Structure formats: C-alpha cells, structure tokens
C-alpha cells in the first residue's frame, strides 16, 4: 500500500470516529503555502472556520502559519504523521480548542522520534480536554495555555521508555488543573501547569513520567500520585548540574513499595519544600551517577522513605514523615545528610545490599543534630555504614543502634559522634577513624571491638563490652571528670591516654578513670597492654587551678587482668614504674601495678591492680631526670560538647 493510500485509509478512519458537532474535518495538504488562510492548502479546499477539526498529514509542508484573523475555534487538533521524519510546526495566531489535541504515527519503521511544535497560544474550552501522544511521537506546546479546563495528558505507548512526550514551555494560566495518565510530561516554565493541581495516574500501566526540564524551576502546584497502575516517576536530570524545587503540597496515595519514584541526575539537586502527606512511600533513585533530593517540608506521609541511590538531605525534623527510612545501595553508595539542628525520631534501616552507606552532619560553623529513632544495620559482608561528622559538629544517636550478624559502626570526619542509648547491641566493630566518638551509656552488649585510629579519639562516661585497640587517644570522662569502662585495652606505639584532673573538686571526683573489667562480658580479659611510647597527657580543668595536696592519690587505670609491663611516657621519655615526673603544679610518682587504689571514684575501681599516681614532695632539681613534663599545660581543656 503506497503512502497516499495509507493516508487516505487513516483519514477515513479518523472521519468515521470523529465526533464533530459543527463544521468538518480539514486535512492539511500544504500544496500552495504555509498559511491557513489559503483554501488550496486544505482538503476539502476551504478556509477553516469555527467548529472545524484540523488534521495534519506528514506528506504536507512541515511549517504552517495560522494567519486567520481573530481566534479560530477548533474542535480537534490532530497530527498523524504517516511516515518517519515529518515534524510539524504551527506558528501564528492563537486558537481555541473545544475537543482534544492528539498525535499518531501511522507507519514508523525507524527509531526516529517525531516532534510536532505549536508556537501559538491555545485557549481551552470545556471541563476536560485530552492531549494525546503515541509511541515515538512528541508534542511541544510553546504558547500560553489558558482557560478553565482540566488538561488530561494520555499516551498510547507501552511504557517501555519510548512513549510520547508533551512539553509545556509557556507561562500558562489554565485553571482546571492537570492529569498525567501516561507518557512523559516535561515542564520548562515555572507556570507550565497553570494554577491548578497535577494528578499523576497510571490507568494504562505505562509508568508516567514528569520531567523537570529546566534549571532553576520552581513549581508551586500541588501534586498527587494516585494509587492506580504502577510506577509514577518524577525526574530531574539536566546537562551538567542544575536545581529545581516543588513547593506545592504532595500527596502520596500510591502504596507500592517503590512506586513513588523521584529520580535525580548526577550533580542535580531537587528540593521538595511542600508538605508531603498520604499513605505512600517516597523513593529516591539515581540517574547516571546519583543526585541529591532535599526534603524540607512538615511531612506526615506514612509509607516512609527509601533511598536506593544518590543523596538525601533531611532538612526538617519531620522530613521523613511517620514511617521508616530505609537505605539500600545499588552501586553508588547512598548518603544521608542532616542539616543543623535536626531532631529526627524516625527508625532507620541500613539494608544488606552491599556497598557503603553514609549518614552525615557537616554544616558551616558549629552544628548539632540528634537521631532518636532506632538504627538497624543489616550489613554483614563487604559493605559498611559510615557516620561522618564535620569539624565542630556533633551528632547524637540517642536511639538504639542494633545490627544483624557482624555489622558495625564507622566514625568519619573531625567532629563528634555520641552514642547515648543503653540498649545498643550491635555486634560488629566500632571503627573510630577520625574525630571523636563519645560513648555516654552502658554499651556492655557491644562486643565487636573498638578500634581507635591514629589521630582519632574515644571518650565518654559510659562503657563498652569491647576490647580497645588504640593507635589514637583514649580520654575517659566527657564534659567533666568521669569514668569509662571497657573489656581490655591495647595501646600501640604513638597512642595516648588523656586524663583530666579537677583541682577545685574533692579528690573523690578529682581525676578521670579508665576501667578495664574482665567481668564486663564473658570474653573480656581486663588486660592492659602498653607497647612503644604511649603518651600520658594530664590537664587540670578547674577554672582556678591549684596544686594538689601531698599524698593525694588518683587511679588512672584500674584493671583486673594482666599488665604486659609496658610503660607510659611523657615528652618522648618513658615513665618508669615507681619513678617521678612533674605535671601541672605537682610532682607525681607513678605505679603500674598498685594493689591499693586511688581516692577518685573508689566505688568504680576493681579488686585488681591500678596505674596509680601520687603527689609527692618536689625533689631537688638535680633529681629531675630529663625534666619530664606532661604535655598539656595547667588549665588546658579538651573541647567537649554535652
């Protein structure tokens, strides 16, 4: 069948099904010029009048011009490209549409995409008008769309990714709202959707897609994702980097586990600043590397949030609604970022999908945030969960941290991570790579070991059921003088023990205490191992430092296991057992295996051995071997944040 026969057959079908109350169907032939006002350009040969339906066939001229005076009112406007490669453009005066706008490809034997463009303003009349596209056939509306009509965007494709697309590029003012039932709707202007709400449906299971197609878009329309069909997708993926924001209210009525999909391209940032409600679950997916989704509304949706790829910014306390936050990893290491001041109560699950997952607080200046919901770490193979806290920032995990199998916690960044829940029972290793980890609760059930890397610090007034492997610093106490308990401690060359004293307090709380307790859990040994040069750092945190009375004794480390005979050091010189050194305003004698404890925290000390210091009279200057001085000056304070 030749092209003319195909077009004639299609036109006959179109005529047969068209519902034309007034006027006739005019088919564009474009044999004379581009102008609509030339009768020879139409079949039958006459100039369009109000009530006609206009049909554009692909064998005609590709560019047409509405040069008719006034506003032509048409019933239907239809583009039926009979072969590949025919793109229509309509210029000129505005039109009024009372029926529908549609596209169709009669014969499509290549992979070319057909795009028809209307540069004219269009006024819609009626309660609802359909704009229909088909597989491989796109429609661009550059003019202003007006009227009180609801626009319904449909697609006749199969949802396989090549379905038709409608682009809205004008400053539209139609007030009836929009409904996306299939295909792709691309927005290029802040007012693209007019003033009404947008409902994304999927009555034909074609996975409708809303595309935010311009950098800096701010869409204020309300949005509803209905519980019909399957996936509803919202995409921001610009060339290079870009931003967009949806500031209207969003209702997630779709209850499928991954059906409300927000897809953000690499280096792009999409902000949902409107309030999110409904029973559905919000899902963040990635496109070509993974971008960032920001949730800043007062959200109440019940289905939770799924992060499969990319970065999620929690920018309000209720950003996650009332459900779970689930973090997976499909190859791009998802990141959860907290803004300053957040108090987030949602339960968080790091699922066992492999790869690394990061939860981060890093704000300019000094910031703080708290997660009070339970955190479950399900990783058990190659993946890990990183808690990254920026310089001068503090992140508190006041909810329970638990795990499956051997999942643990990794601390990154120069800031402070605080574990303050007494029910923590994760079984993997606690890896302090950077900054400070403070354990301020009884974490005796955490038994996977604590590794403190060089340059990092472990502190707190709590306990861990783990053995300490220390290349960095252990500093008992936290905001004040206090006690920290562990199963045992192995200090390597270059590590340090930092002890705070308080000369303005009574001796009972005059110095920090590290307790190594073999009774803290069944595999604990209570051993103290000192290898190489292990620095002892003393400081007086009193606001008015003064010398301690002669004879004052403090236990620095209480242990009920074995001591390997290693020594602490000061200024690069070892402190011999029974020897003296000068620190602060006192001379001290140090004993490593004293059977008599010091005066500080007597009830916390073990019935074992003590690393004990005793204030003794100052010897003659010739007796001071090498002028041993402990590094930190009187009055120096560690920066601590409650």
Mean pLDDT, residues 459-485? 97
Is it the case that residue 17 has pLDDT exceeding 70? no
Alpha-carbon gap, residue 419 to 257, rounded angstroms: 31
Local structure of 10: helix, strand or coil: helix
Mean pLDDT of the chain: 87
Is it the case that residue 577 has pLDDT exceeding 80? yes
The DSSP line for 578-627 is T-EEEETTEEEEEEEEESS--STTGGGS-SSEEEEEEEEPPPPGGGSGGG
Is it the case that residue 627 has pLDDT exceeding 50? no
Is it the case that residue 567 has pLDDT exceeding 60? yes
Q: What is the pLDDT of residues 310-334, one digit of tens each?
A: 899 999 999 999 999 999 876 567 8
Mean pLDDT, residues 6-14? 42
Is it the case that residue 232 has pLDDT exceeding 80? yes
Strand 473-476 vs strand 496-501: parallel, antiparallel, or unpaired? parallel
Q: Quote the pLDDT of residue 114.
A: 80
Q: Which of 109-123, 396-410, 535-549, 615-629 has the lowest mean pLDDT?
A: 615-629
Q: What is the pLDDT of residues 340-358, one digit of tens each?
A: 999 999 999 998 766 678 8
| Confidence category of residue 308, pLDDT binned at 50, 70, 90 | confident
Q: Quote the pLDDT of residue 259.
A: 76
Q: Which residues contact 45 (CB under 8 A, 6 or more apart)?
A: 39
Tokens of 355: 């790869």
Q: Quote the pLDDT of residue 59.
A: 61
The DSSP line for 145-198 is EESSPEEEEEE-S-SSS---EEEE-S-----S-EEE-SSEEEE-STTTTTTS-E
Q: Quote the pLDDT of residue 288.
A: 59
Q: Quote the pLDDT of residue 382.
A: 52
% of the chain surpassing 70 pLDDT: 86
Q: Which of 77-86, 192-201, 275-284 has the lowest mean pLDDT?
A: 77-86
Local structure of 19: helix, strand or coil: coil
Q: Quote the pLDDT of residue 137.
A: 81
- Positions of E strands within 329-440: 335-338, 343-344, 348-350, 357-361, 368-371, 375-377, 385-389, 394-397, 401-403, 409-412, 416-419, 430-432, 436-439
Alpha-carbon gap, residue 383 to 353, rounded angstroms: 8
Strand 450-452 vs strand 375-377: parallel, antiparallel, or unpaired? unpaired
% of the chain surpassing 90 pLDDT: 67
Mean pLDDT, residues 84-99? 87
Cβ pair 467, 491 in contact under 8 A: no
Q: Quote the pLDDT of residue 385.
A: 87
Query: Could you identify the residue written with the tokens 């269009």?
Result: 122
Q: Quote the pLDDT of residue 108.
A: 42
Is it the case that residue 603 has pLDDT exceeding 90? yes
Cβ pair 182, 153 in contact under 8 A: yes
Please report how many Cα atoms fall inside a 13 Å half-sphere around the Cα of residue 200, on the Cβ side.
Answer: 29
Q: Quote the pLDDT of residue 206.
A: 64
Q: Quote the pLDDT of residue 61.
A: 58
Is it the case that residue 161 has pLDDT exceeding 50? no
Mean pLDDT, residues 610-624? 77
Helices (H) and strands (E) in the chain, counts: 1, 62
| Confidence category of residue 623, pLDDT binned at 50, 70, 90 | very low
pTM score, two decimals? 0.88
Is it the case that residue 85 has pLDDT exceeding 80? no
Mean pLDDT, residues 617-630? 50
Is it the case that residue 630 has pLDDT exceeding 70? no
Q: Quote the pLDDT of residue 30.
A: 84
Which H or E element spans position 43? Answer: strand 42-43
* Domain boundaries along the sequence of the chain: 327-412, 513-627
Mean pLDDT, residues 6-17? 41
Q: Quote the pLDDT of residue 19.
A: 40
Q: What is the pLDDT of residues 526-564, one digit of tens each?
A: 999 999 999 999 999 999 999 999 999 999 999 999 999
| Confidence category of residue 22, pLDDT binned at 50, 70, 90 | low
């Amino acid at each position: 069948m030749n092209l003319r026969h195909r077009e004639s057959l299609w036109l006959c079908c179109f005529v047969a099904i068209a519902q034309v109350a007034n006027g006739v169907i005019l088919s564009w032939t474009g044999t004379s010029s581009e102008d609509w006002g030339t009768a020879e350009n139409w079949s039958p040969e006459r100039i369009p009048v109000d009530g006609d339906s206009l049909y554009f066939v692909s064998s005609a001229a590709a560019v047409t011009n509405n040069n008719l005076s006034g506003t032509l009112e048409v019933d239907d406007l239809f583009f039926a490209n009979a072969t590949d490669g025919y793109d229509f453009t309509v210029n000129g005066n505005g039109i009024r549409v009372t029926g529908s706008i549609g596209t169709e490809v009669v014969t499509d034997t290549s992979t070319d995409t057909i795009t028809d463009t209307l540069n004219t303003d269009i006024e819609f009349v009626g309660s609802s008008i359909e704009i229909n596209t088909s597989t491989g056939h796109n429609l661009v509306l550059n003019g202003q769309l007006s009227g009180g009509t609801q626009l319904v965007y449909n697609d006749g494709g199969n949802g396989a990714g090549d379905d038709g697309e409608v682009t809205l590029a004008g400053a539209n003012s139609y007030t009836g709202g929009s409904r996306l039932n299939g295909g792709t709707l691309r927005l290029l202007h802040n007012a693209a959707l007019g003033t009404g709400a947008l409902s994304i449906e999927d009555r034909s299971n074609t996975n409708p897609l809303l595309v935010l197609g311009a950098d800096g878009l701010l869409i204020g329309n309300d949005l509803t994702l209905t519980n019909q069909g399957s996936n509803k997708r919202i995409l921001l993926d610009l060339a290079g980097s870009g931003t967009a924001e949806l500031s209207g209210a969003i209702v997630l009525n779709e209850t499928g586990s991954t059906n409300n999909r927000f897809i953000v391209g690499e280096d792009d940032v999409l902000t949902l600043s409107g309030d999110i409600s409904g029973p559905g679950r919000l899902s963040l997916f990635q496109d070509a590397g993974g971008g960032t989704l920001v949730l800043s509304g007062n959200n109440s949706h019940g289905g939770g949030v799924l992060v499969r790829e990319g970065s999620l910014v929690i920018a309000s306390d209720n950003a996650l609604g009332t459900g779970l936050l689930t973090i997976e990893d499909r190859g791009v290491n998802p990141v959860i970022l907290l803004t300053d001041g957040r108090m987030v109560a949602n339960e968080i699950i790091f699922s066992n999908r492999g790869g690394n997952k990061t939860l981060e607080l890093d704000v300019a200046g000094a910031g703080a945030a708290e997660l009070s919901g339970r955190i479950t770490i399900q990783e058990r193979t190659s993946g890990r969960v990183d808690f990254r806290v920026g310089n001068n920032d503090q992140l508190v995990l006041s909810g329970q941290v638990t795990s499956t199998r051997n999942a643990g916690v990794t601390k990154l960044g120069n800031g402070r991570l605080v574990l303050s829940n007494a029910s923590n029972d994760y079984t993997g290793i606690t890896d302090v790579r950077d900054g400070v980890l403070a354990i301020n609760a009884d974490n005796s059930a955490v038994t996977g070991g604590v590794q403190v890397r060089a340059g990092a610090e472990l502190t707190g007034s709590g306990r861990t059921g783990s053995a300490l492997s220390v290349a960095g610093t252990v500093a008992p106490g936290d905001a004040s003088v206090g006690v920290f308990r562990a199963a045992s401690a192995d200090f390597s060359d270059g590590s340090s023990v930092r002890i705070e004293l308080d000369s303005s307090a009574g001796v009972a709380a005059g110095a920090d205490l590290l307790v190594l307790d073999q009774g803290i859990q069944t595999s604990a040994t209570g051993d103290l191992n000192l290898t190489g040069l292990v620095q002892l750092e003393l400081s007086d945190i009193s606001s008015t430092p003064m010398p301690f009375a002669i004879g004052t004794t403090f236990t620095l480390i209480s242990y009920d296991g074995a001591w390997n005979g290693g020594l602490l050091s000061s200024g690069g010189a070892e402190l011999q057992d029974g020897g003296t050194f000068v620190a602060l305003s006192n001379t001290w004698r140090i004993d490593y295996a004293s059977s008599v404890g010091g005066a500080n925290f007597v009830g916390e000390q073990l019935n074992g051995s003590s690393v004990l210091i005793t204030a003794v009279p100052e010897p003659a200057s010739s007796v001071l071997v090498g002028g041993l001085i402990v590094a930190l000056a009187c009055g120096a304070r560690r920066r601590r944040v409650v």
